[in-house]
Chain A
Amino acid sequence: MYSGMSQESNRGEKMRNTYKIYLIGVGGQGTVKASTIVGEAAMKKGLNVVMSEVHGMAQRGGTVVTELKFGEVHSPLIEEGAADLLIAFEPTEALRSLNKINRESLVIVNSAPIVPFTVSLGISEYPELSLVFEELKAKIKNLVVIDAQKVAKEAGNIISENMVLLGAAVATPNFPVDKELIIQSMKENLPPQSVEVNLRAFERGFEEVEN
């Protein structure tokens, strides 16, 4: 759905028929895994769901985007300004995706920065973190900031930050899939030995938003 147009004119029926989640992170953060878990859970619920993911050269330390669309949809790409939910696994990546959201979108941002090597080399710049958060607050109405790295560490493993963010997303009001189905899907998609720690991370993320 083209935001700013059909959402304005048709607020109601059409909007409720679709839900769109835009996930952005850096290669290695587990955005694809988190998205697949949501997609499979949605399928179990009986929703139509399509997803776009990134493989290949683009994954090596670069920005990684996955897109999920639910409902009456065909293509896996989200229109400008049309994401209902943006999950940014890194603060500057949230700023990079502002064109995907509108005033009503909900945005979850991991506050833990990942500074690329280009910054140490002096060929690119990472803005002052406080400015990044000021900018996020200024530009986004419905903003949730979580230190997913810290929460994941407390839950038992720092690499579970994707599950912290997933938990946070599932706790948001309009999330299209039930928590139980997500948990079931996690168990089916994660290595058995890491399910427990990931579930802990997921619950912690869930609580962050619910409280």
Chain B
Amino acid sequence: MKVGEILTGKEGGKLFLLGNEAAVRGALEGGVSVVSTYPGTPSSEIGNVFYKIAQKAGVYFEFSSNEKVALEVSVAAAAAGLRSFVFMKHVGLNVAADSFVSTVYTGVCGGMIVLSADDPSMYSSQNEQDNRIMARLAGIPMLEPSNPQEVKDLMKYGFDLSEQFQIPILMRTTTRISHMRGIVKLGPVIRGKKKGFFEKNPSQFIVIPAYVVKMRKELIKKLIKIEQIANISPLNTTIDQGGSKLGIITGGGAFNYVMDVVTANDWKVKILKVTLSYPFPEKLVLNFIKSVDSILLAEEVEPVMEKEILAIIGKHNLNKRVYGKLDGTLPRIYEYNPDILFNGMAKVLNKVLPKKEWVFTKLPLPTRPAVLCPGCPHRATYFALKSAIKKLKLKEEEIIYSTDIGCYALGLEPPYKMGDYCISMGSSIGIGCGFSKATNQKVISFIGDSTFFHAGIPGLINAIHNKDKILLVVMDNRITGMTGGQPNPGVPVDGMGNPAPEVSIEEIARGVGAGLVKTIDPFNLKETEKVFKEALQFEGVEVIITKQPCAMITDAENRRKGISVKYIINQEECTKCMICVKNFTCPAIYVAKDGSININPLLCDGCGVCTQVCPKKAIEVKK
């Protein structure tokens, strides 16, 4: 399939879509006009697709500077009567939370969907928060799809529901739904309106106390009405496998595991799949509970529905046993899989667990941690900074490396070990400010270009105003790298693929009053080391911008131009000092069985930084 088919695929046709791709198609079938995001895995591919097709689809799409701004862009569009779609990873909703919660109060005119992609097991995230709790915190109706077809269908349904009740809708996916591929039957694409019109109504759109007290009341009324819909909606269905002993209440990804286990083993249970899951359909659930002897909750991450069910049981004075996370039948943490569900259900149903017949190996297997790519400019930055620190004879324990969210966080790995603290987007600078006040240690903060625009600027302003001592290294690789390479405000292209003004990090740093501001090319190790030496001896806030495109950009350009440069090690010159292996640590450089050091031509990216690292100049271009 070519990406364009997500737009051009005909009604009635089928595509093998990723959950994230299905979200795009669903938005298009729902007549979306405005789409915004800040990239974050597991939601990133939604943006990657819009980036490619928005122009043709006649949809406005942007990579906003952060999730809060992205949400606000979509909220305004919906206030102007357009259908809008904003999506982000789960922790992105924390960034957007201030506007998110109030948006539910003000409501919308055009339909609006906020998609939060949760990441159970934290494959690419800093925490495992369950945003079903965010739905409860904000009072926003929530949909939980179980597969790509449902993702697509629920987008369209969500827009309708949103417009009917003038309230935004939260679509909660998890990694296994966002990154699950399945067959999706297509409906017709509807062109959304190009422009809306904002009808002034301060009592709806201004959140001063006098107005919000009324909005709060309205919100509760809306939720009561939507709960009535949830009680009778075909989205919340009962699947009777021919037994009333055990009732399983489930939704989202967990539903799939339940189904696979139950069908494969022919277990007689009754299943309630909850898809329109907030407001929680109390009446429907109550009837389901009454119809079975005991209940098992199959839900990922927090015992959210389990507590709702215990409340319903308490309220109605029922005597039913509830199995789930709270009694240890199923694990409280990490994502589920069919084996976990099998074990939990087998316990409850008193089934004998099968004897495990599979085998394991006793051989040691190599570890493969995530690593900076060959040709990554961050490696050069770390190497030069490390050399500067060594030459100034600074002690490592006297330096605090405050790092941030992005590929460069991998600098915490050996041999660099330049990552001591990292909690959230943009935190490297605020954390640096705190350490600068709380200790006499030297603070070095790392932040990427996209992360700087996202949440770094307020930290920098704070550092300057409060006279902190921080060396801030902005690792400007001209892209939002970790999430797969999206443009950001620092590059000359926008989400529509149109030319856009480049926002200068250097000018921002100067503008807010940083004492020393320099931009350098980290591929020039000598010069970079020199600049770092100067910065390390400066007292105050220094901003060093190491500017060199991400290896993914360089690779793509080289492929287009047909350029392929590889390096080899001249074995006659090589003294096996191991500096390139142990201190520089490019994944392309390896020690062969005979002890010689070599460069893997499949991995070598041709950056040539290793030629500067080698004291014997034994690395040369392969002819």
Q: Is the CB of B370 within 8 A of A58?
A: yes
Are the C-beta atoms of A6 and B338 separated by less than 8 Å?
Answer: no
Q: How far is the CB of A156 from chain B (nearest CB, A)?
A: 15
Knowing A40-B16, A50-B180, A116-B587, the reply to whether A80 touches B339 (Cβ < 8 A) is yes
Question: Which residues of B sit under 8 angstroms from A63, Cβ to Cβ?
Answer: 368
Q: Which segment, of B258-266, B323-331, B612-620, faces chain A?
A: B258-266
Cross-interface CB contact of A54 among B123, B342, B356, cutoff 8 Å: B123
Give Cα A78–Cα B264 distance, bound, in whole angstroms. 12
Quick check: is B402 within 8 A (CB to CB) of the other chain?
A: no
* Chain B interface residue bracket vs A: 35 or more
Would you call B180 and A99 a contact (CB within 8 A)?
Answer: no
Map CB proximity to A onto B410-441 as digits: 1 under 8 Å, 0 otherwise: 10001100000000000000000000000000
Q: Which residue of the partner chain, among A74, A123, A126, contacts B256 with CB atoms under 8 Å? A: A74
User: Which residue from B1, B146, B176, B365 sits with its C-beta under 8 Å from A52?
Assistant: B176
Q: Is A172 an interface residue (CB 8 A)?
A: no
Per-residue CB proximity of B248-272 to A under 8 Å, as 1/0?
Answer: 0000010111011101111000000
- Interface residues in B343-380 (C-beta closer than 8 Å to A): 354-361, 363-373
Least CB distance, A12 to chain B, in whole angstroms: 13
B314 contacts the other chain (CB 8 A): no
Query: Does B18 have its Cβ within 8 Å of any Cβ on chain A?
Result: yes
Near B by CB (< 8 A), chain A positions 69-111 give 72-81, 92, 95-96, 98-103
Size category, A interface: 35 or more
Q: Is A173 an interface residue (CB 8 A)?
A: no
The interface centre, meaning the residue of A43, A62, A119, A189 with most chain B CB atoms within 10 A of its CB, is A43
B591 CB within 8 Å of chain A: yes
Which single residue of chain A is at the shortest CB-CB distance from B338?
Answer: A79
How far in angstroms is the closest Cβ of chain A from B179?
Answer: 5
Distance (whole angstroms) from the CB of B561 to the closest CB of chain A: 15
Bound-state CA distance A100–B358 (Å) is 8
* Cα A19 to Cα B484 with chains together (Å): 32
Question: Are the CB atoms of A189 and B1 closer together than 8 Å?
Answer: yes
In the complex, chain A residues whose CB is within 8 Å of the CB of B255: 74
Residues of A within 8 A of B182 (CB): 49-51, 76
Decide: A80 near B358, CB < 8 A? Known: A2-B261, A124-B367: yes
Tell me whether B395 is interfacial, beta carbon within 8 Å: no
Whether, in the assembled complex, B482 has its beta carbon less than 8 Å from a beta carbon of chain A, the answer is: yes
A74/B146 in contact, CB under 8 A? yes
Q: Which of B176, B360, B366 is the one whose CB lies under 8 Å from A116?
A: B366
Which residue of chain A lies nearest to B122 when distances are taken between CB atoms in the complex?
A: A57
Contacts of A61 in B (CB 8 A): 368-371, 373, 587
Question: A57-B124, A123-B367 known; 5 other A-B pairs, CB under 8 Å?
Answer: A50-B182, A58-B123, A59-B370, A61-B371, A159-B602
Give chain A's interface residues, CB within 8 Å of chain B.
Answer: 1-6, 8, 14, 26, 36, 39-40, 43, 48-63, 72-81, 92, 95-96, 98-103, 115-121, 123-127, 131-132, 135, 139, 158-159, 188-189
